[in-house]
Structure 1
Amino acid sequence: MFFITEALSWATGVPEPTLRLLTTLMLAYPVANFYNKLYIRPLLNNQPIKTTESDRNSFILLSGLALAFYYNGRAIYHSLVTVAVSYAICYLGDHFQDRRLATAGVWVFNTAYLLLGYYFTSSDDYDISWTMTQCILCLRLMGFSFDFQDGADAEALAASEAPKTGNPLPLSFANDTPLKELPEFAQVLAYTFFPSAFLVGPQFSFSLYKRWLKAPYGGKPVSEWEETQKAQLMYMYRCVGLAILYLAVQQVIGSQYPTSYLLTDDYAALPLFKRLFIFWMAGRFTFNKYIGVWMLTEGASTLFGISYDGEDKDGQARFDGLANALPNVYELTTTIDNVIASFNINTNLWAKYYVFKRLRFLGNKNISQFATLGFLAIWHGFHIMYFVTFALEFLYIQCELVLRRRIVPSVKPLTSRNDIYKAVWKVVAWLTCTSTTSYAVVGFDLLKVGKAWTAYKNVYFIGHLAIVIILGVNALLGKPSRPLKKKIM
């Protein structure tokens, strides 16, 4: 099956696995367009949809399997076996009235299968193989099992059926995720192989898929079909444009700053300031390549219409419900919290919904957060640098909290009175934020401890030392004193 991409690779010089990944993502666009032509566009002419929910599910299932076979070839059997066994575990759990045990079984089985896959396929570099789709599938089935478990919980069901209040819930994991009954196997299979989401995400609940399958745009109100579809196309073009921009910049500029260069003698011989700049660039572009791929898959999800999130207060259709990256926020953010909120969004939402919130029994948010990051680390694989990177993320968040308590109260009076000071402070905060995240992700990209050690040694472990200094000084100073409030006479 790979002979097609191997021929293109020979002609273009692009590595075959990378080319196979990108072409699989792009093939989701004609699939989505054909789906719209069959099932959605008749609505523009006020024609009823004559197909059944089963017909639409079959289309998604067959097209998703076709794309998965194009990407994985015969290795697609790993995904098929995983879905079948997970479904069987849920079926048995329902039959013996123990959904909690079924959920545990799904988690253990999927974790073991994924880790064994990593063990037998891993190398010293990133591997674009069947384990890439498997890691996405792993989370999807784990989340599905929890939704199935929640369906037997009276309190969870009552909460899901209660009217929404307060801040709107994310489209991917809204309040209707609990499943009262085990869905049909064909629907679960189609859900896991959704053409625009099985390869690199985004993660979303089975309930969202079911709503979308049942009615166009998830049954959310549509004022004008024609205007809505125009907004859909415009948002899709935006996603594609940003994807092309990010991937092009990555190829033209990012390729000049690979993390492997940080290991060379030439790099070590450079002046410190130049080393720090190149280190920052290498880390920054490590992030950027993910954004390009996520924007490409978001565009296809938009064309399917599954990312439709209703209308804003001005009546404009929104299609950002499954955004996995927010480039405008990510590029300008000055806090690590906002980096997390704008990068790999739906995976972070998944971890928050299915891991972090279910660790409440630990009674400590920091412990729950650390455990969640540990789960995400092992989900990525066995490489120690995954764990080191997520540990650095946790520590940088703690440092950020310390700096907010210690510095912001003194700086705020200045920035509130002077726009120049405010601009300078934002630049400093942006540079600090991007430097810490870029510093941490270099180790993530290099994978091996020895390689990461060499890279960090070449910049004197400056990012590690910053953590020790900030947290150490904070411990020595004790709790910051609160300014005395002036009494009004």
Structure 2
Amino acid sequence: MAVTAGTGQTLLQETAEALGSSEAALRLILSIFIGYPLALFQRWYLFGKEAHLTYLFHIITGLLLSYFNFGYQMCHFLLCVVLQFLILRLMGRTITAVFTSFSFQMIYLLAGYYYTATDEYDIKWTMPHCVLTLKMIGLVFDYYDGGKAQDQLTNEQQQFTLPSVPSFLQVAGFSYFYGGLLVGPQFSLKRYQKVAEGTMTDVKGQRPNSLMPAAKRLSLGFIYLSVYAIISPYLPDSYLLTDQFLAQPFWYRCVYITIWGKIMLYKYLTCWLVTEGVCILTGMGYNGMDASGRPQWDACANVKVWLFETTPLFTGTIASFNINTNAWVARNVFKRLRFLGNKIISQAAALLFLAVWHGLHSGYLICFSLEFLIVVLEKQIIELVHKSPLLTQLTSTPALNLPLYIAQQSIHWLCMGYALVPFCLFTWDKWLRVFTSVCFIGHVLFFSLLLLLPYLHKVLVPRKERKVE
């Protein structure tokens, strides 16, 4: 029963208003932080016990967290888990099972997007459901691969294959594990089983020495949360659509989009860092030993903080951001399209999948189309710099390192913010208004480079280098 304040509002509603947040957002952040006491309970009372106790603990706590956030809409999640288990049991290791699971889970998710769609970013049941969709599709792929001969599998696939059909407790526990329930990260059922069995640890038979690694990620999460909470009120998405924004000078609008895009991503970093700490506490984050024999705890890392903050490359930001989801798409979409024989087509298909998986708004498609274009262009520019003696010399000059880095970072984050505009504003009328306000600067830059790069290649790359190609 909700605690009601004197004004008729619940305590959560009043707290959310005081913090300048929505009640749904406050419920989400509380649910993420609750993972720490749950993980400590699991460490002290369930480690070394029978695995089914851990599965039951995850199912019960996951159901409670689902109800706390989404009420009876949690039934959508439960229905898809039960049906996924039935698909595995009744269809077995068949391509039919893979096709059925992929189609059902994606159609259910997209139907959820369609029936709950608004023009704003809402925290609703489809948010954890998109995480579940990847889990369920990955699960059927791993089970299907388990029926193949070892020589038919890549080394990567061998790490995830399931030798036997999982029980309902395993599938449900895997789906409802509090460390990955609401915002990820993605992990395999095989890894999850090892956590429940107590074998995902740096010291065999003992609890993982993961308290300090978990505390470090939690601390980083607090830092990003603080920065976002302090700065984001001064950089609201809604300001981009105001007449006041349009009245600002062109340079101001570009700088605003650049800084806004960077800060906007901090809310994702906050959630991922906090949940990563929860996963580390349970042992889920254990990733073997490094060359020096020290344990690594980055198996559930969804962001590489140092790379994210320092890379001047768009591809560097992609490599540092939403890592587990990108790895899932690379493994289960991009690499499974190898039979097409064309990396560009496979990459485009993977980005199209990501766009659709995020939602039905046009903004997602525009965002990932821009990402694809920027990645292609960046690779061509890097190749040109490496093959051109003049550009290689300029970029290797120590005196130019800092100015070039600043210029590259500025362009990098302007392009990033530009691509994030449709991602955050969703509908075509909104993102088109913002693009128009900055004279489509991103599109002008990207398509100009697309046309100019072949000519620059002819001018700046020696004929001998071109012949080698």
Residue number in structure 1 paired with 2:12 = 8
Residue number in structure 2 paired with 1:192 = 175
Name which of structure 1's ranges 302-311 and 398-407 shifts more when overlaid on structure 2. Answer: 398-407
Q: Contact 2:195 / 2:282 at 8 angstroms: preserved in 1?
A: no
Residue number in structure 2 paired with 1:146 = 141
1:222 has 2:203 as partner:
yes
Deviation of the 1:396 alpha carbon: 0.4
Give the secondary-structure state (helix, strand or coil) at the position aligned to 1:104: helix
Amino acid at match of 2:411: T
1:258 has 2:236 as partner:
yes
Separation (CA, whole Å) in 2 of partners of 1:339 and 1:483: 34
1:24 has 2:19 as partner:
no
Q: Contact 2:142 / 2:160 at 8 angstroms: preserved in 1?
A: yes
Give the secondary-structure state (helix, strand or coil) at the position aligned to 2:338: helix
Percent identical among aligned pairs is 33
Partner of residue 366 from structure 1, selected from 328, 332, 344: 344
1:116 has 2:82 as partner:
no
Q: Contact 1:282 / 1:442 at 8 angstroms: preserved in 2?
A: no
Q: Contact 2:228 / 2:267 at 8 angstroms: preserved in 1?
A: yes
Q: Contact 1:222 / 1:310 at 8 angstroms: preserved in 2?
A: no
Deviations, residues 296-322 of structure 1 (Å, cap 9, x unaligned): 111111111110112323333221111
Amino acid at match of 2:284: I
Separation (CA, whole Å) in 1 of partners of 2:99 and 2:124: 27
Give the secondary-structure state (helix, strand or coil) at the position aligned to 2:265: helix
Residue number in structure 1 paired with 2:446 = 467
RMSD of aligned Cα (Å): 2.2
Structure 2-normalised TM-score?
A: 0.92
Separation (CA, whole Å) in 2 of partners of 1:336 and 1:2: 46
Deviation of the 1:475 alpha carbon: 4.2
Amino acid at match of 2:106: T
Deviations, residues 405-458 of structure 1 (Å, cap 9, x unaligned): 334533322343x32212222222222222211110111001111110111111
Deviation of the 1:233 alpha carbon: 1.9
Give the secondary-structure state (helix, strand or coil) at the position aligned to 1:253: helix
How many pairs align? 455
1:7-406 pair list within 5 angstroms: 7-13=11-17, 14-40=21-47, 49=48, 51-94=49-92, 99-155=94-150, 159=153, 175-216=158-199, 218=200, 221-222=202-203, 229=209, 232-406=210-384
Name which of structure 1's ranges 339-348 and 433-442 shifts more when overlaid on structure 2. Answer: 433-442
Q: Contact 1:236 / 1:302 at 8 angstroms: preserved in 2?
A: yes
Separation (CA, whole Å) in 1 of partners of 2:99 and 2:324: 23
Separation (CA, whole Å) in 1 of partners of 2:109 and 2:432: 27
Q: 1:363 to 1:7 in 2, by over 3 A?
A: same
Deviation of the 1:323 alpha carbon: 0.3
Q: 1:332 to 1:478 in 2, by over 3 A?
A: closer
Structure 1-normalised TM-score?
A: 0.88
Separation (CA, whole Å) in 2 of partners of 1:250 and 1:53: 39
Deviation of the 1:377 alpha carbon: 0.6
Amino acid at match of 2:14: W
Residue number in structure 1 paired with 2:426 = 447
